[in-house]
Structure 1
Amino acid sequence: MTDNISLAVQMDVNPDDLDENGVLKPYRAPEFPPYPTDELETCDEQPSNGDAPPDEEFLSSPRIGWCPSGSVSDGICSPFNNIRTDWMGRYATSNLRVDELILPGTHNAGMDKQASYSNSYDTCQDVSPHSQLQTGIRALDLRVQFFSGYPQGDRRRFAIFHSSNSGRNIEGDVLQAVINLSTAHRNEVVILDFHDFKNFTVAAHRELATVIKNRLGSKLIEPKWKTLVLRQLWALQKTVVIAYNDEQRDPLFWPGVNQRWIGKDRPSSSELKSFIDRVGNETKPDYQLRAIQAHKYTLVYQPDDMSPDVMNWFAAGENNSPIMKFFIINTDWSLRHRFVDNCIYANSLRNRKRASVHWTPNNIPGGMMDDYYHAIVVETSNGNWSSSLFAPSNPPDAATMLIICRAQLQTLLHTSNSDFPNGIITLAQNNVVLFQYTQKKWVLQNTRTYTPNSSGNTVPAPLADEKLIKYQTGDGNWTEHISLPTSAPTYSYVEISSSAGYYSQIHRQSGRRVYRCQRGDKYLFMFNQGVWQPVKPAIHSYGAAQAGAQMADTGTEQTRVHFKDGDWIAQITLPANAWQGDTVTLTSNATYTATVMGTNLESGASVQLRRGDTLHYRYVASIGKWRSWQGLDNE
């Protein structure tokens, strides 16, 4: 008989996974019960407003549930008149962000009685993570141990642990359970809180992140979507948050849940209640995931069944009920009472704080969106499309607008009160854009900014899911030549701006005009038909002295020169070289008359510029001269 414990330590595997000869047993995937097709058993009881808990401060053994007018079967108290399996999609939650939800959570979610070898002093749940999700739990508190001794791809490399291992693992028991829920009910949102890590290396963190991303794929709610309410997330078909409490967190994961724990294992009920009340009176920052840890041990170090306390401390029923102060609520023996039902009811109250809407173009007369809603999602498709959409002009502060384009035809989104340089955005198939209304302006979200110091003198190409990227130069962070990428997604945008004392040259493609980007300039380019097209070039404005008697090529389509007393020159000659269609506008309110020399003018004759005059010239490349025009395009 092999000493499996010593051998397991050497091999870095769980001893229970070795047979009597010290050979690694094959992995056996868990069997999941199917999701019920019939409604769960119900009773007529209403949400609890709180009943007094028992008088005992400490118990020598766990209490067994609290389920008045109902029954506890396999650790699950029957619900009152609601359905737990798909409660998020069934009841009122659509107006809330993920961080605003009141979520029933399971402390040490994988340490349950149904696990293959849970230690009784660690066991604090009755049923598996799959059954927890099936019965309404929506936040799983997880602690993970890495075992390097299993071969790559073996699911047991990432095991659930507390002080011991339960025999459950992340991929087979947790991720698969989430996939099962999502497959059965696509609108159920789950938070997986990876709170603690044992024996992890940097490589192990990367490996676990890869497993998570490969299994959950597009279901992941990335941090960039943190401002969205559930209605918007449902439209994106994103339903899983990975909260990862480690500095090796993947960019697609959220920061770890801020778990508020009293800091001791065996507080009295009154101590724990006082702590919970203090946490409930704190202000949670927007977008932070926060949990209250409502659990403790008995005197003999067994997880306490606090069912009456939980139902009292987190009672539901009114807007000022105790539960309304909380968000994620992690408990032991989380289904022996009707706490899930309290959360369902409490979310329906909190859901009234704002209004949201899911539109298609056929629902928007003239493409004009209403100002009323706090959260908007508009989804285009073939046969349900509009050539133009108009953003609300005066929505509530912090409102969000999500546009999802599935139609083959392009849509022009008009956002006159936005930070988008042109105010009109061309949206193509598969584009997803998000705006938030801040300080009376729609601000495009999820835009990355690059500089010469971060990415060199070539602007990185926008990714497939990026509508706009920005490139900025400044003093100490400057390059003389800026090159736009050779390719990019069609109808993607690049904004280039400068605060540098020196100007830069913007290069698009060979043979096309080069732009001069100087301090204060902002250029917007759109990629279309293989070319970066200028959408909003900078306008260069000079005083007469700065322009000089012989103007140089100004480096942009529009140049303005103003003469005034104290900033005046007697003569000015337009640039000898320019690009087809470039314009120069000369204005004056100076006392003295200036002369525009005829050297580079089509007429060849000099022109007088007097006080109050405005003279317009356009460059005709075929003759290499400037033609007088009246500000109208007659070419």
Structure 2
Amino acid sequence: MTNNHPHKNWMAASPAIDNLTLMELVWPGAHNAGMDYDFPYLPHLQPFQGWFVCQEGPFIQQLNEGVRALDLRFLSDEHWLGIRKFHTFHGYEMLTGRSLAELFKSLNFFLNENPDEFVILDIHKLQGRDERQFDYQGFHDAVISELGTRLIPKKNRYLTLGELKKTSSLQRVVFSCDWHPDLDSPLYWPKINHRWSGSDVTSPEALRHFIQHTLISPPDEDLLWSLSATSYTKSIGVMRLTQELNDWFGPNSGWAPKCSIINADYIGDTQLVAYCREINFSRGLQKT
């Protein structure tokens, strides 16, 4: 039988990686992970999907393909109660995608099948609908209730993957978010620093120059940080940079080893997961 997801358990299948800490890894990341082409958007929005959709398939597909960092922005809608009020969004409040409930369901299913894979939830933005405040308390309650046993405490951030496995058979998720009085927990990590071009419209050539400049002096190696390797143009929308990303972060470029999280659109089309796996495997062997 053909293995349609050769990188489904790439971390567990590369035992040398156990010698590394979470900060020493290079993570393949999905930009706007909750906005994908399989989601049933409202009919009047579907003709414009190219301008706000960033991934091919849902959370579970991304995880099976080897993505290990999910870039997420959540909207809270007070027309709903409990966990049902939280959905991903991109840019405008009308452009909503996958739900928080589906994220938790996908993560739990995936980690039950692949208990030694690690995943970063990069909560990049939290916003209320119609100028209302985001429901931080409700969000916190949902996270702790549905995912609390899987969260890696911030105090364990300097342990190696091998040490984390010995510490717990369940804690495999980094939950990173901005601080708020209602999001104050030892299970939450600080918000991840995103490096991006600074412009909503970025051509592939401008992106290449931005990445090259950023990697001359990358951020602190002791912190998780995310490099936005994404391009957007007014005429096309979200750019599919398959060949560019393969070239820029391939084994001969030297760019990928300088990164923490490589945050990309349509990451399943690229070889980024394979490149990250090779870099991490090699680093792990060097620490043996």
Instruction: Establish whether residue 282 from structure 1 lines up as the match of residue 282 from structure 2.
Output: no
> Does the CA contact (< 8 Å) of 2:218 and 2:258 recur in 1?
no
Return the match for 2:206 from 271, 289, 307.
271
**Deviation of 1:203 (Å):** 7.7
Return the match for 1:260 from 174, 195, 199.
195
Task: Please give the root-mean-square deviation of Cα atoms over the aligned residues, in Å.
Answer: 2.0
**TM-score, normalised by the number of residues in structure 1:** 0.41
Return the match for 2:153 from 222, 226, 242.
222
State the match for 1:160 in structure 2.
Answer: 88
Letter of the 2:176 partner, please give it.
A
**Deviation of 1:202 (Å):** 7.2
Instruction: Establish whether residue 207 from structure 1 lines up as the match of residue 138 from structure 2.
Output: yes
1:111-122 map, 5 Å: 111-117=35-41, 119=45, 120=49, 121-122=51-52
Equivalent pairs, count: 273
State the match for 2:3 in structure 1.
Answer: 40
Instruction: List 4+ stretches of structure 1 deviating above 6 A.
Output: 200-203
**Deviation of 1:259 (Å):** 0.8
d(CA) in 2 for partners of 1:184 and 1:111?
24
Change (3 A) 1:353 1:278: farther
**Deviation of 1:271 (Å):** 2.0
**Deviation of 1:280 (Å):** 1.8
1:81-230 map, 5 Å: 83-91=6-14, 92-117=16-41, 119=45, 120=49, 121-151=51-81, 153=82, 155-162=83-90, 163=92, 164-171=94-101, 173-199=102-128, 204-230=135-161
Cα deviations by residue, 1:469-494 (Å, 9 ceiling, x for unpaired): xxxxxxxxxxxxxxxxxxxxxxxxxx
d(CA) in 2 for partners of 1:213 and 1:197?
17
d(CA) in 2 for partners of 1:265 and 1:283?
22
Higher share in helix: 2
**Deviation of 1:283 (Å):** 4.2
Cα deviations by residue, 1:339-390 (Å, 9 ceiling, x for unpaired): 21111111112223423xxxxxxxxxxxxxxxxxxxxxxxxxxxxxxxxxxx
Q: Which runs of 5+ in 2 are unaligned?
A: none
Return the match for 1:324 from 245, 248, 257.
257
d(CA) in 2 for partners of 1:259 and 1:308?
23
**SS class of match (1:86):** coil
**SS class of match (2:17):** coil
Higher share in strand: 1
State the match for 1:335 in structure 2.
Answer: 268
d(CA) in 1 for partners of 2:263 and 2:285?
24
d(CA) in 1 for partners of 2:248 and 2:104?
31
Cα deviations by residue, 1:153-208 (Å, 9 ceiling, x for unpaired): 3x33011111233342112x211111111100101000011101111877821211
Q: Which runs of 5+ in 1 are unaligned?
A: 1-37, 42-78, 356-635
Change (3 A) 1:261 1:213: same
d(CA) in 1 for partners of 2:281 and 2:250?
14
**Deviation of 1:298 (Å):** 2.6
Instruction: Establish whether residue 310 from structure 1 lines up as the match of residue 239 from structure 2.
Output: no
> Does the CA contact (< 8 Å) of 1:315 and 1:323 recur in 2?
yes
> Does the CA contact (< 8 Å) of 2:34 and 2:72 recur in 1?
yes
d(CA) in 1 for partners of 2:134 and 2:264?
32
**Deviation of 1:287 (Å):** 3.5
d(CA) in 2 for partners of 1:147 and 1:110?
16
**SS class of match (2:140):** helix
Letter of the 2:13 partner, please give it.
R
1:23-62 map, 5 Å: 40-41=3-4
**SS class of match (2:19):** coil
